[in-house]
Chain A
Amino acid sequence: MSMRLLLLCTLLTLVLFGFVFWDIASKGAGALSLEFLLTHPRKGMTAGGILPAVIGTTYVTLLTALFAIPFGVATAIFLSEYARDTRSTRLIRAAIRNLAGVPSIIYGLFGVALFVQGMGMGPSLLASGLTLGLLTLPYIVATGEEALRNVPESYREGALALGATHWQSIHSVVLPAAMPGMVTGSLLGLSRAAGETAPILFTGVAFYLRYLPGSVWDEFMALPYHLFILSTQHHAIHEVRPLAYGTALALLGLVILLNVIAFLVRMRYKTSR
């Protein structure tokens, strides 16, 4: 009886989750097409496609990756390979864990104060990319450190015994072994960044732009923000509902794609050992 109750709760949870996917997929499928993805919005965004939002999200996610991956991986290497268990490294670990729990809108505030105003970048791709980079950083550090810790100690000892320096053992033995885990973590972190809206609200995303961004100093359109305005801010909300569903499906598709790639990387690694 009580076991059946557990199953019932599980099924209810899965049905709720499934409903979100199903609703967006079924209602968005009609709007989503290659043409939708590859054309500009027209007629006050009541027709046409979402090309600038697709491009903007791609650019800002690449900038996020450019900032968060090298920095996050370096921090992970530091924590796993260099840091001894001292008070200061415990402080660093605690800082990173807590950074991961900071609400994303706080990163938005920080981005406004530091990048947009403090450093005078103005609302731009760069300011948004850096803000999202900060948001993604703790995630990449945490997953990277875990991947490094899963590399057996004997690998390091073997390299050192052969006369490698600490750095040589890390870069030619430990890192290659930890690579799949790091790639998976980075992809998941980026997929989260790609779907974020709150941190870019005031750091660079725009309602509507006629031109694609030409440099990192330009404002940009983004898929999540586009979905937000089509569903809440647009002057003809009901008229553009199909476009909103199409945008939602495109966003969901992007996130799922990144997740599936991450999943495949992990699977491949598991079977190859």
Chain B
Amino acid sequence: MRVSAHRADRVASVLFHFAGWMSVAILAGIFIMLLLNGALVFAQITPLEFFWGFQWNPAAFETPHFGILPLVFSTLLVTFGAMLIAVPLGVATAAYLAEVAPVGVYRLFKPFIELFAGVPSVAVGFIGITVLAPAIARIFGLNNGLNALNGSILLALMALPTIITVAEEAIRSVPDTFREASYALGANRRTTLWRVTLPAAMSGILASIMLGLGRALGETMTVLMATGNASAFPNGFFDPVRTMTATIAIELGETAQGSTHYYALFAVGAVLFGISMLVNILSERIARRYRYKR
């Protein structure tokens, strides 16, 4: 009995260590696989053509072009637009929930926001096609509303729950002594919020914005459905765009394994992976810099 208990203990220990290291192996595996497959594209085109190419046209009959810049620019444009909408709305909502909302209101709103975080991106993209696109077309007098603006609005919706949740936590974690000191100096609630609490929570709020940004950057189905997917270099929010994620989603199915195009898509994936890792790491750094002990 005792012997078997100790043996079980050892077996368990080995198994759990194995599981932990497997996670690292998976992350490393994803990274290496993307990098290797992506790097193979440079056997056929130069890095300059890829990283500094202004044209993405892999199916061209004569000379296909694999310039990643229009894709990167599309992704940045849509994400930037999304952040313009989501940051003020999200931070204001977080501030309301953390500092102003009565308990009853909070209990009503909070689960609703958490539930929206679970809405599949394909459903949000669907709304972009059926509701938002016709609305944008009518308001701005366009032929169709499948453009960067549409994608930005939808991505803002998708990034909002992340921003709200993380920013709310950051605002809540500001010690009450800060607020009390401010009140004691005669400041009212509004001044306290804007001049004391929010600045004190700034690192957490920035981290929430970075996380929301990461979410928007990597979103696939929403932009695939709602942004029109023209691979020309976009000129603004009323142009259709084709993001990095959408390009992979559209083209991977129709490329032969081992072709230049196939490897180029992995290279796009590697760039996307790199950008999202960078955003993640930055958000962690920022969040760690000023953290209050609770």
Contact assessment for A165 and B33 in the assembled complex, using a CB-CB cutoff below 8 Å? no
B21 within 8 A of A: yes
CB-CB under 8 A from B123, the residues of chain A are 20, 24, 195, 224, 227, 248, 251-252
Contact assessment for A104 and B225 in the assembled complex, using a CB-CB cutoff below 8 Å? no
Contact assessment for B92 and A5 in the assembled complex, using a CB-CB cutoff below 8 Å? yes
Complex-state Cα separation, A259 to B161, whole angstroms: 15
Query: With A10-B92, A74-B19 as given contacts, are A109 and B248 in contact (CB-CB < 8 Å)?
Result: yes
> Interface stretch among A35-43, A46-54, A93-101, A212-220?
A93-101
Q: How far is the CB of A77 from chain B (nearest CB, A)?
A: 5
B186 within 8 A of A: no
Q: Please report which residues of chain A, range 143-170, place their CB below 8 angstroms from some CB of chain B when the two chains form the complex.
A: 165-168, 170
Complex-state Cα separation, A58 to B123, whole angstroms: 18
Contact assessment for B113 and A6 in the assembled complex, using a CB-CB cutoff below 8 Å? no
CB-CB under 8 A from A74, the residues of chain B are 15-16, 19
Identify the closest chain B residue to A123 (Cβ).
B253
Tier of interface size on chain A: 35 or more
Complex-state Cα separation, A191 to B114, whole angstroms: 13
A261 within 8 A of B: no
- Could you list which residues of chain B lie within 8 angstroms of chain A, going by C-beta atoms? 5-6, 8-9, 12-13, 15-17, 19-24, 26-30, 33-34, 37, 88-90, 92-93, 95-97, 99-101, 109, 111-116, 118-127, 129-131, 157, 160, 164, 189-190, 193-194, 211, 214, 217-221, 225, 245, 248-249, 252-253, 257, 265-266, 269, 272-273, 276-277, 279-281, 284
- Would you mind naming 25 contact pairs between A and B with Cβ atoms under 8 Å apart? A5-B92, A13-B160, A13-B164, A17-B160, A23-B130, A24-B126, A75-B23, A78-B19, A79-B20, A83-B20, A92-B20, A92-B23, A95-B28, A103-B245, A105-B272, A167-B13, A195-B118, A195-B119, A197-B120, A198-B220, A198-B245, A224-B122, A228-B221, A231-B129, A259-B114
CB-CB nearest 4 A-B residue pairs: A103-B218, A195-B120, A9-B92, A78-B16
